[in-house]
Homo-oligomer: A and B are copies of this chain.
Amino acid sequence: MNVVVVSETVEINSNIGTDIIDITGLVGQHLAESGIIRGAVILFVPGSTGALTTIEYESGVIQDLADAIERLVPRNIPYAHDQRWGDGNGYSHVRAALLGPSLHIPVAEGRLSLGTWQQVVLINFDNRARRRRLIIQVMGEKK
């Protein structure tokens, strides 16, 4: 059985950053519709103020992640980007570049091979609410 690829672009409403959104159900639904049972889901956030990772989607640890990012790349220090462009979102760009826009998750028996308490999250770091795009590709073998 050879590998095929199925691609979708979806749009997700996000609030002002750091907004960490659980997209596990959405990704699982697109996987199911693809009919692919073995391979990998390849995720990508177009734009330079969004990122992807996995985490236990529990309000305490979500707050801990947001707090850590605020400590590591503070909002309230000067950014050259803001001095030149006045966007006020220099910190958003730096945060997104450090976390990265791409993530893949293996697929076995038609399911995402995640841990029991591991969810897939899209993060909006921008300084405004956005309708963000997410590209969901499933690459693998059908039944």
Contacts and interface: CB of A to CB of B under 8 A. Distances in A.
Contact of A5 (B39, B56, B72, B85): B39
Interface string A1-18: 111110101000000000
A40 to B, nearest CB: 5
B47 A94 contact: no
A104 to B, nearest CB: 5
Contact of A115 (B38, B46, B58, B80): B46
Given A47-B118, A106-B137, A113-B46, A61 B90 contact: yes
A64 interface: yes
A23 interface: no
For A90, A97, A102, the residue with the greatest tally of chain B CB atoms inside 10 Å of its CB is A97
A101 interface: yes
B97 A55 contact: yes
A54 interface: yes
A115 B90 CA distance: 17
Interface in A71-125: 72-73, 79-85, 90, 93-94, 96-106, 108, 113-118
Interface of A: 1-5, 7, 9, 38-40, 42, 44, 46-48, 53-56, 58-61, 63-65, 67-68, 72-73, 79-85, 90, 93-94, 96-106, 108, 113-118, 133, 135, 137, 139-141
